[in-house]
């Protein structure tokens, strides 16, 4: 059996802006993972996951034994990850085989509600890692990230891939996305193997960063899941009556991310926290100007409580529910924040930043 684990992630700054190619964001991977276990099978492939209920998702190959056939092919991240690796395997001339995948997640609660820690990204990354080993493709970490991004944009063309980079490389990263429309086109015209090394793609877009040693991270879960895709669409296509000052948002977001990364370099926790606070203000303005509920009532409460007691706080990722983060200096007692969160139905998620492993 092959077993691969991929961590979830949190957005620390730069969300929404990062959807524009070249715009930077800061993310951190967390020490909660999705695990994919792969075993070889004979007559069909099965994917066992709580996402599909009790019955596994079953696929077979076409009469040539090559392509995957599903009667009703849902837009599914696992299947998209399988398809992209299958296309690469086929172009390498490696013979097709059947396999079963068993997926388990630490990124949901006991009843399967998602925390919003990037489970789609993590399952895509872990599936690709498992198949890389199964077919002995010998992919580099950056190639696995690139495959994960190609698999993801086949389903969600706007996705920045920040979650995939965090999940692939671990630790804290600065990330900026490539031109996904150009990559998608390149893949369609020239195939996956060529897309991995095309000129549209300089590198992974990720660099490792190290936060000030005294920075502490708290994560609160609102209990209501959000739809990232829906929110991103809304922010990027505002109604006529509300022209969106998206350009000024992206340039202010870039300034914030740059200042945050500089503060990390200088080991300056106070400046880092100031820029997290500023990121929250930018997201609030973006929400107002686009008519999107990025900061829901529960997220506002979560952040206000943390700010009242001296931390810097913001929604993580698309907002609209899911979770929020509070960062503070180690000297700040966090007991009051946690007590108030609990009193208002905000659950603390006990997790820590994931330790970076391997280069980028
Ligand atoms: C969602 O977690 C973060 C967004 O920036 C979308 C993306 O990066 O794909 C809103």
Structure token digits, residue 268: 């300056």
Q: What is the mean pLDDT of the chain?
A: 92
Packing angle, helices 269-290 and 246-265, rounded to 10: 170
Pocket flag, ligand 1, residue 257 (CB < 6 Å) = no
SS3 content of the chain, % helix, strand, coil (to 5): 40, 20, 35
CA-160 nearest atom, ligand 1: 9
Least confident of 20-24, 47-51, 103-107: 47-51
At 51, the pLDDT band (50, 70, 90 cuts) reads confident
Which of 117, 40, 46 has its CA nearest to residue 350? Answer: 117
Residue 171: per-residue pLDDT: 97
Cβ atoms 35, 268 nearer than 8 A: no
pLDDT at 12 > cutoff 80: yes
| Nearest residue (CA) to ligand 1, atom 8 | 160
Where are any strands of DSSP class E within 279-322?
312-315
Pocket flag, ligand 1, residue 232 (CB < 6 Å) = yes
Pocket flag, ligand 1, residue 162 (CB < 6 Å) = yes
Pocket flag, ligand 1, residue 159 (CB < 6 Å) = yes
pLDDT at 253 > cutoff 80: yes
Residue 73: per-residue pLDDT: 64
130-148 pLDDT, tens digit per residue, is 999 999 999 999 999 999 9
**What domains can be seen in the chain, in order of their start residue?**
2-208 (3.30.230.10), 215-348 (3.30.70.890)
User: Which of 12, 120, 160 most suits a substitution to test ligand 1, by most atoms within 8 Å of the C-beta?
Assistant: 160
Residue 204: per-residue pLDDT: 87
CA-118 nearest atom, ligand 1: 2
Least confident of 104-113, 204-213, 224-233, 336-345: 224-233
22-34 pLDDT, tens digit per residue, is 999 999 999 999 9
Pocket flag, ligand 1, residue 322 (CB < 6 Å) = no
| Nearest residue (CA) to ligand 1, atom 2 | 317
Residue 236: per-residue pLDDT: 67
Residue 259: per-residue pLDDT: 98
Cβ atoms 152, 159 nearer than 8 A: yes
Question: What is the Å distance from ligand 1's center to 70 Cα?
Answer: 29
Q: Which residues of 86-96 are buried (b: 16+ CB within 10 A; e: fewer)?
A: bbbbbeeeeee
At 262, the pLDDT band (50, 70, 90 cuts) reads very high
Pocket flag, ligand 1, residue 30 (CB < 6 Å) = no
- Percent of all residues in the chain with a pLDDT value above 90, rounded to a whole number: 76
313-356 pLDDT, tens digit per residue, is 999 988 888 899 999 999 999 999 999 999 999 999 999 999 88
This model of the complex carries an ipTM of 0.98
pLDDT at 39 > cutoff 50: yes
């Amino acid at each position: 059996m092959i077993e691969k684990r991929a961590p979830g992630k949190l957005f620390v700054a730069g969300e929404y802006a990062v959807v524009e190619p070249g715009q930077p964001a800061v993310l951190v991977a967390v020490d909660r993972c999705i695990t994919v276990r792969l075993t070889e099978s004979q007559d069909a492939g099965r994917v066992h996951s709580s996402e599909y209920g009790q019955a596994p998702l079953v696929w077979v190959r076409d009469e040539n034994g090559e392509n995957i056939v599903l009667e009703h092919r849902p837009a599914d991240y696992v299947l998209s990850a399988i398809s992209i690796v299958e296309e690469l395997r086929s172009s390498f001339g490696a013979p097709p085989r059947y396999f079963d995948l068993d997926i388990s997640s630490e990124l949901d609660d006991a009843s399967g509600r998602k925390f919003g820690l990037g489970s789609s990204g993590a399952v895509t990354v872990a599936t690709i890692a498992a198949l890389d080993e199964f077919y002995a493709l010998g992919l580099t970490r950056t190639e696995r990230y690139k495959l994960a991004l190609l698999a993801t944009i086949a389903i969600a063309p706007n996705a920045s891939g920040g979650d995939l980079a965090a999940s692939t490389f671990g630790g804290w990263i600065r990330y900026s996305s490539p031109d996904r429309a150009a990559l998608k086109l390149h893949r369609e015209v020239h195939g996956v193997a060529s897309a991995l090394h095309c000129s549209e793609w300089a590198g992974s877009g990720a660099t490792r960063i190290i936060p000030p040693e005294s920075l502490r991270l708290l994560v609160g879960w609102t209990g209501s899941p959000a739809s990232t895709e829906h929110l991103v669409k809304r922010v990027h296509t505002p109604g006529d009556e509300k022209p969106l000052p998206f350009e000024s948002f992206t340039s202010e977001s870039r300034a914030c991310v740059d200042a945050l990364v500089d503060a990390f370099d200088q080991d300056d926790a106070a400046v880092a926290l100031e820029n997290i606070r500023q990121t929250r203000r930018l997201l609030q303005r973006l929400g107002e100007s686009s008519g999107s509920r990025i900061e829901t009532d529960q997220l506002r409460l979560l952040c206000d409580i943390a700010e009242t007691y001296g931390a810097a706080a913001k929604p993580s990722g698309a907002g609209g529910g899911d979770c929020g983060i509070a960062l503070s200096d180690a000297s700040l007692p966090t007991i009051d924040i946690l007590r108030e969160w609990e009193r208002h139905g905000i659950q603390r998620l006990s997790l820590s930043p994931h330790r970076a492993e391997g280069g980028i």
